[in-house]
């Protein structure tokens, strides 16, 4: 009986040891699985954490253009995911190249601080200056376990006393560092390699958001500058416009703006000249004598070849509101008024000047008439002496009398031109308009100048007729006079052996007939083409060649053509010479 318990005891001991060994074996077998489970949990935990960081950083973009919320949201993410007590975001300033604080948050500042671009960044760091400057320069993160042992650490006032641990990580945008994240703690040795890797990951994720914010901030700043410039320029323009309006309103000249068949603006002088009792009476008037004259002037200018869109200068008679008459000269130019094309004009009362011109014309005509009588007497005596009626003459005496006769003929032509021009100026010449063939008229003019052309061996080519040239109403004698004057000038200023040609054509876009008189002579200089038709204007080349006249021939031609409602001008001819062109209306 005694042995059984022993046996039994031994069996119990063996059994317990066996069971303990079994449990150890099973625990050893489960250990690798526990390790694998822990690594898997840690992996998924890190993935969830990274996904949460990504989500929060991406969500920060929705706050753009509120950059304060964007920056502080990213700083919040860093503080929440690390052991940092404080975090600041510093960005490289595009103008100065310095690192400046844009956002900061910490235990003593739960709300956080945001600094805009206009903030006085006196604590900005240059590249290579301090820990943050070194990070920007090198493009690598930097971990400081204890700031008291770090020479690169730059103190910034009292706040530096609370910083013992520091972790600074660059924010990259491609190959460029655009800023840094600064993590700090009041205890030394807080940050580890894992914190360094985590902050690098956050910096990479936040890079695109921060770059977008920087671009938006630059655009916003540029927009503000442009807005300031626009406001500044607008103020200058407004002041200039006010000065211009005051100047125009108080000007002695009468000024108007014409648009869509109505007067849109008139100054005081215009209203006084026209006799408008009230400014409102001049605005928006659809039709009156002034507007009718103005529209007719513009229509003639647009339809007549040889001009631009309209005449820059015109003269006509205005009937005022009270029935009085005013001789006016009008100069016009294109402008933009209230967003549309308009015409701005200046009107001057030339009634007194016109009266003086008439007095002058009458005096000159009277003087010319008085001059003709002695000229006729001298001419008659010359002819009588040359015929030796009163006695024989020697060769020298005959030569003197011939030269005297030539001078008398020149004086006679001068007096004739003066009288004719004075009559035209005084409005005493009336046109005898009859339907006729312009080609036949030109041939009649050729008969008067053919002898002069043959003396200089100059060929006058036949008239070049364009097909379907209709008959028109014109004063035959006056147009013959114009053609004779133009062809005589062409012969005079064309060298021996030259050519003169005449061309008639119908304008394709206007109801006008064009007549060209072309030569290959000395031509007309550009500076003289605008004034050559003015009275008593003689070209320099005419004076140089000794073929000087009194300068009334072309002026008379201009008066005759304008009386026919046509225009006359001169152009250079290809290959040398001149091309005188005048127009006559078909209807």
Element (H, E) at 235: helix 193-249
What pLDDT score does 322 carry? Answer: 77
Element (H, E) at 158: none
What pLDDT score does 170 carry? Answer: 92
**Helix then strand then coil, % of the chain, to nearest 5:** 50, 20, 30
Distance, C-alpha 382 to centroid of its chain: 70
Which residues are registered as beta bridge partners of 344? 257, 333
Q: How many CA atoms lie within 13 A of 420 on its CB side?
A: 18
User: What six digits make up the tokens of 530?
Assistant: 């605008």
434 vs 451: CA distance, rounded Å: 29
> Distances in Å between the alpha carbon of 350 and those of 251, 314, 327, 328?
17, 12, 5, 5
322 vs 266: CA distance, rounded Å: 18
Query: Residue ranges of the chain with pLDDT lower than 50?
Result: 1-8, 12, 122, 157-158, 160-161, 281, 284-287, 302-311, 543, 546
572 vs 463: CA distance, rounded Å: 20
Query: Which string of DSSP letters, residue by residue, matches 473-492?
Result: EE-HHHHHHHHHHHHHHHHH
DSSP state of 125: B
Contact yes or no for 517/487 (Cβ under 8 A): yes
Q: How many CB atoms lie within 10 A of CB 552?
A: 21
What pLDDT score does 26 carry? Answer: 61
User: How many percent of the chain have pLDDT more than 70?
Assistant: 76
Q: Which of 199, 139, 135 is nearest to 173 (CA)?
A: 139
To which residue do tokens 């253009």 refer?
Answer: 65
Q: Which residues of 438-458 are buried (b: 16+ CB within 10 A; e: fewer)?
A: beebbeebbeebeeebeeeeb
Angle of helix 193-249 relative to helix 3-60, nearest 10 degrees? 10
What pLDDT score does 423 carry? Answer: 72
User: What six digits make up the tokens of 573?
Assistant: 């001819």
The per-residue pLDDT for range 292-332, each reduced to its tens digit, is 877 777 776 544 444 444 446 778 888 877 778 888 888 88
The per-residue pLDDT for range 164-213, each reduced to its tens digit, is 888 999 998 888 888 999 888 888 888 888 888 888 888 888 888 788 87
43 vs 61: CA distance, rounded Å: 28
User: What six digits make up the tokens of 455?
Assistant: 């003396």
Contact yes or no for 95/103 (Cβ under 8 A): no
Alpha-carbon Rg for the chain in angstroms: 51
To which residue do tokens 């990504």 refer?
Answer: 54
200 vs 202: CA distance, rounded Å: 5
446 vs 488: CA distance, rounded Å: 10
Contact yes or no for 60/73 (Cβ under 8 A): yes
What pLDDT score does 580 carry? Answer: 92
Strands 262-266 and 109-114, by their bridges, are: unpaired
User: What six digits make up the tokens of 551?
Assistant: 């300068």
133 vs 154: CA distance, rounded Å: 10
What pLDDT score does 582 carry? Answer: 92
Query: Which string of DSSP letters, residue by residue, matches 257-313?
Result: EEETTEEEEE-HHHHHHHT-SSHHHHTT----HHHHHHHHHHHHHHHSTTS-SS-SE
């Amino acid at each position: 009986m005694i042995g059984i318990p022993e046996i039994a005891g031994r069996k119990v001991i063996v059994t317990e040891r066996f069971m303990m060994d079994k449990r150890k074996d099973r625990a050893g077998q489960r250990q690798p699985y526990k390790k694998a489970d822990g690594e898997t949990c840690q992996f998924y935990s890190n993935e969830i954490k990274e996904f949460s960081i990504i989500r929060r950083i991406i969500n920060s973009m929705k706050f753009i253009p509120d950059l304060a919320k964007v920056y502080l949201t990213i700083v919040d993410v860093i503080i929440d995911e690390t052991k940092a007590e404080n975090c600041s975001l510093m960005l490289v300033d595009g103008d100065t190249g310095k690192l400046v604080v844009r956002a900061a948050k910490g235990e003593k500042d739960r709300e956080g601080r945001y600094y805009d671009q206009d903030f006085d960044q006196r604590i900005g760091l240059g590249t290579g200056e301090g820990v943050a400057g070194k990070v920007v320069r090198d493009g690598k993160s930097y971990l400081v376990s204890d700031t008291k042992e770090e020479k690169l650490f730059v103190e910034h006032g009292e706040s530096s006393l609370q910083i013992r641990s520091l972790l600074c990580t660059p924010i990259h945008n491609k190959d460029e560092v655009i800023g840094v994240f600064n993590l700090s703690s009041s205890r030394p040795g807080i940050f580890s390699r894992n914190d360094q890797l985590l902050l690098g990951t956050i910096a990479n994720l936040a890079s695109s958001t921060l770059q977008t914010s920087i671009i938006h901030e630059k655009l916003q700043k540029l927009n503000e500058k442009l807005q300031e410039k626009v406001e500044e320029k607008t103020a200058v323009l407004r002041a200039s416009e006010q000065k211009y309006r005051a100047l125009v309103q108080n000007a002695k000249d009468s000024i108007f703006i014409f648009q869509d068949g109505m007067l849109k603006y008139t100054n005081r002088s215009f209203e006084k000249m026209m006799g408008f009792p009230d400014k409102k009476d001049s605005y928006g008037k659809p039709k009156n004598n002034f507007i009718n004259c103005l529209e007719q002037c513009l229509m003639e200018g647009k339809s007549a070849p040889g001009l631009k869109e309209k005449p820059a200068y015109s003269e006509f008679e205005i009937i005022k509101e009270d029935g009085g008459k005013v001789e006016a000269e009008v100069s016009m130019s294109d402008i933009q008024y209230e967003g549309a094309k308009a015409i701005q004009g200046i009107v001057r009362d030339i009634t007194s000047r016109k009266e003086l011109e008439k007095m002058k014309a009458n005096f000159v005509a009277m003087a010319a008439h008085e001059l003709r009588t002695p000229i006729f007497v001298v001419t008659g005596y010359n002819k009588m002496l040359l015929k030796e009626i009163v006695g024989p003459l020697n060769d020298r005496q005959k030569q003197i009398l011939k030269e005297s006769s030539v001078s008398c003929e020149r004086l006679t032509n001068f007096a004739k031109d003066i009288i004719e021009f004075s009559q035209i100026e005084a409005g005493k010449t009336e046109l005898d308009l009859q339907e006729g063939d312009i080609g036949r008229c030109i041939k009649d003019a050729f008969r008067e100048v053919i002898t002069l052309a043959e003396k200089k061996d100059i060929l006058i080519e036949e008239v070049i007729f364009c097909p379907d040239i209709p008959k028109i109403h014109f004063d035959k004698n006056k147009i013959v006079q114009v053609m004779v004057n133009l062809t005589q000038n062409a012969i005079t200023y064309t060298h021996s052996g030259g050519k003169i040609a005449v061309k008639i054509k119908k304008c394709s876009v206007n109801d006008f007939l064009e007549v060209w008189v072309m030569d290959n002579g000395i031509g007309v200089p550009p500076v003289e083409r605008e004034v050559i038709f003015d009275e008593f204007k003689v070209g320099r080349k005419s004076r140089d060649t000794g073929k000087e006249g009194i300068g009334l021939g072309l002026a008379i031609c201009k008066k005759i053509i304008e009386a026919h409602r046509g225009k006359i001008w001169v152009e250079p001819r290809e290959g040398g010479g001149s091309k005188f062109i005048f127009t006559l209306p078909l209807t």
